[in-house]
Amino acid sequence: GAVVSQHPSWVICKSGTSVKIECRSLDFQATTMFWYRQFPKQSLMLMATSNEGSKATYEQGVEKDKFLINHASLTLSTLTVTSAHPEDSSFYICSARPPLALTYEQYFGPGTRLTVT
């Protein structure tokens, strides 16, 4: 099956710094990638939809200036958490949809656990 990787798998940063998370589709090209956030014992919440070569579409309540998304190629999307604060500590997960996927079949990365101290 299609493989999506994320890097890093976990990161600890100090409050006020920025962190970049990479999402790669390893064996297929993804025109659309999605970024989710998951707090402990909660479900996944969609943050934004990332389209290659265009601006990301953010869900209501997600600050686009704080969570910068770049989808510069068909295999790479990045999420940068700027000026991170402890409340940004969460599990960040990306997903990608193969261009010929049936309906809503998506492939998810393994997630990145961000801890802001």
Partner 1 sequence: DAKTTQPNSMESNEEEPVHLPCNHSTISGTDYIHWYRQLPSQGPEYVIHGLTSNVNNRMASLAIAEDRKSSTLILHRATLRDAAVYYCILRDPIAYSGAGSYQLTFGKGTKLSVIP
Query: What is the nearest approach in angstroms of partner 1 to the Cβ of residue 80?
Result: 19
- Site for partner 1 contains 98 (CB under 8 A): no
- Site for partner 1 contains 66 (CB under 8 A): no
Instruction: Give the burial string for 37-52 (b: 16+ CB within 10 Å, else e).
Output: beeeeeeeeebbebbb
What is the footprint of partner 1 within residues 74-93 (CB under 8 A)? Answer: 91, 93
Q: Between residues 44 and 68, which has the closer beta carbon with respect to partner 1? A: 44
Question: Looking at 14, 53, 60, 104, which residue binds partner 1 (CB under 8 A)?
Answer: 104
Q: Is the peptide bond before 98 cis (omega within 30 degrees of 0)?
A: no
Return the ∠ at Cα 22 (arms to 69 and 59), rounded to 5°.
35
Query: What is the nearest approach in angstroms of partner 1 to the Cβ of residue 66?
Result: 21
Residues forming a β-bridge with 95 = 34, 108
Question: Looking at 29, 110, 115, 117, which residue binds partner 1 (CB under 8 A)?
Answer: 110
Q: Counting Cβ atoms within 10 Å, is residue 103 exposed (0-12), middle (13-18) or buried (19+)?
A: exposed
Rounded to 5 degrees, what are φ and ψ at 86?
Answer: -55, -30
Binding site for partner 1 (CB under 8 A): 4, 6, 31-32, 34, 36, 43-46, 49, 51, 57, 91, 93-95, 97, 102-111, 113
